[in-house]
Structure 1
Amino acid sequence: MTDTLTVAAGQRGPAETEKRDAIIDAAKEHFSRYGYGKTTVSDLAKAIGFSKGYIYKFFESKQAIGEAICTGCLGVIIDAVGVALTESSTPTEKFRRLFKTIIEQSAELFFDDRKLYDIAAASTMENWASSRAYCERVEVILQSIILEGRESGEFERKTPIDEVCRGILLVMQPFMNPMMLQHNLDLLPEAPNEVTNLVLRSLAP
């Protein structure tokens, strides 16, 4: 999918190499087993048989490796959103599928690999480039849906589009933000569905 996020924050050298992928794969394995905070660059170097200096040829820090992993995880969510939207015929349906897909994919990551989910949470808390790129991409998708709904007559046109998008993203934060979602998992899927219904009523012309 063309929606896949591409963030190179903290990366060095060639953009795509087998050795870079080996470092990322080893990091994912260690982060999944021991957690992001407890894994060091030395641990990664030992796991893949490279020196720390060699790893630093590709990544300027452990966070840069975390950025690459986080970008991959968030890119999977964006790709899933792209598929869901192609299967939706109206702006209202696209709106529902956008947030339903984001929440389902985020919850799935939480249950399937909690330690990798924690990297996404760290990226949000520390405002990593990967998290910013993800949020910006979601906002662009949301805005395109709102504009399509206005053109079709499904949504009201009076409120400034920037205000509409900011407001919607704010009310969806408890279910989109990984720092908050982990405390609201017992509210799924009813609560986000109710919020979505409320937002759609507010968008009616």
Structure 2
Amino acid sequence: MVSEALTPERILEATEEVLRRYGPSKATVVDVARALGVSHGSVYRHFRTKAALREAVTQRWLDRTSELLAPLTTERGPAEERLDRWLKTLFEAKRRKAGDDPELFATYTVLTGDMSAVVDGHIDDLVGQLARIIEDGRREGVFVSESIGFPSEAARAVFHATGRFHDPAYAAEWSRPGIEDDFASVRELVLRGLRA
């Protein structure tokens, strides 16, 4: 492979495979370069440091969830239904990531612990999505303005109230019996608290 054909996206794909194979503590830039058939210097032309590469691959992983949820913030339909669907979609996406590829999920759990700025930006993006839906509900007269304060404050509260169903720290609980009922109860409580 010629290094000119090397793109950041191809490097990130290879990095993900290397992380899956070796884990975050053993994976190196040399391993990524070897997987691509290039020198490690070629990888460094796109990502100046190992930390920058890890940050980019972590951002890419988190962005997949944001991109999955984003259409729910702009689609037509009642805000209450969109909010409920957004929460369900987030839970299912996280649960699928944990269940379908547990090694990579564990790797990213480690990486996100090291990338607090990336994680904070991701959370801010998700809270912003929630705030747009809540603001739509307020305009529709479905969510009470006085009870929720600013949409961003309400969105952050909803995000944290449902954390058990999307925070990777709780991943072990996501496959246990009764989790769906627990999630339905929390969603109903959240929606009831926002309603007019």
- The answer to whether TM tops 0.5 is yes
After superposition, give the CA deviation of every residue in 1:116-138 in whole Å (9 maximum; x if it has no partner).
22243234423444322221111
More off after superposition, 100-109 vs 186-195: 186-195
Classify the secondary structure of the residue corresponding to 1:65: helix
1:136-175 pair list within 5 angstroms: 136-158=124-146, 159-161=148-150, 162-175=152-165
1:74 aligns with 2:62: yes
Q: Is the 8 A contact 1:41 1:62 kept in 2?
A: yes
Partner of residue 179, structure 2: 188
Classify the secondary structure of the residue corresponding to 1:104: helix
After superposition, give the CA deviation of every residue in 1:104-125 in whole Å (9 maximum; x if it has no partner).
0111111222232224323442
Over the matched positions of the two proteins, sequence identity in percent amounts to 27
More off after superposition, 96-105 vs 185-194: 185-194
Q: What is the Cα deviation at residue 87 of structure 1?
A: 5.8
1:125 aligns with 2:113: yes
1:200 aligns with 2:188: no
| Number of matched pairs | 189
User: Normalized per residue, which structure has more helix?
Assistant: 2
Q: Is the 8 A contact 1:66 1:119 kept in 2?
A: no
Q: What is the Cα deviation at residue 148 of structure 1?
A: 1.0
Classify the secondary structure of the residue corresponding to 1:166: helix
Q: Is the 8 A contact 1:124 1:131 kept in 2?
A: yes
**Aligned-partner Cα distance in 2 for 1:83–1:189:** 24
> Normalising by the residue count of structure 2, what TM-score does the alignment of the two structures yield?
0.83
> Normalising by the residue count of structure 1, what TM-score does the alignment of the two structures yield?
0.80
Cα 1:93–1:138 shift into 2, 3 Å? same
- Structure 2 unaligned residues grouped into runs of 5+: none
Q: What is the Cα deviation at residue 201 of structure 1?
A: 0.9
Structural RMSD (CA): 2.2
Q: Is the 8 A contact 2:138 2:144 kept in 1?
A: yes
After superposition, give the CA deviation of every residue in 1:81-100 in whole Å (9 maximum; x if it has no partner).
13445666111101111111
**Aligned-partner Cα distance in 1 for 2:130–2:159:** 9
Q: Is the 8 A contact 2:19 2:104 kept in 1?
A: yes
Partner of residue 12, structure 1: none
Q: Is the 8 A contact 2:55 2:115 kept in 1?
A: no
More off after superposition, 193-202 vs 79-88: 79-88
- Structure 1 unaligned residues grouped into runs of 5+: 1-16
1:134 aligns with 2:125: no
**Aligned-partner Cα distance in 2 for 1:19–1:84:** 31
**Aligned-partner Cα distance in 2 for 1:19–1:77:** 22
